[in-house]
Amino acid sequence: MDGVKKEGQKQTSTAASFAMFEEWVATVPEDIRADPLWSFDAYRKALFLYDLVWTDCEQLMPTRAAAPSSARL
């Protein structure tokens, strides 16, 4: 993550990640954004991470080999 690209790894810039986060924020329902917790940066980032992980879990669930791992996520 130090900006060093390892073999076989896609390099992402901080700007690209920030744009992705901003796009996600635009999709968050207004009732969640109106909650006082929304003012905490850690809360917003945790929800963003949760959505990213959930998407991965949905992709892993159908595979038998990943079932034990994805169930823990």
Q: What is the pTM of this model?
A: 0.58
**pLDDT higher at 73 or 3:** 73
Domains in the chain: boundaries: 30-72
CA distances from 15 to 2, 21, 34, 35, 52 (A): 14, 10, 26, 27, 18
pLDDT at 56: 76
Contacting residues for 28 by C-beta, under 8 A, at least 6 apart:
47
Q: Give Rg (Cα) of the chain.
A: 15
Place of tokens 């901003």: 22
9-58 pLDDT, tens per residue? 454 445 555 678 889 999 999 999 999 999 999 999 999 988 888 877 77
Name the band, by pLDDT with cuts 50, 70 and 90, for residue 72. low
List, as own/partner pairs, every contact residues 24-30 make where C-beta atoms lie below 8 angstroms and the sequence separation is at least 24, other chains included. 24/48, 24/51
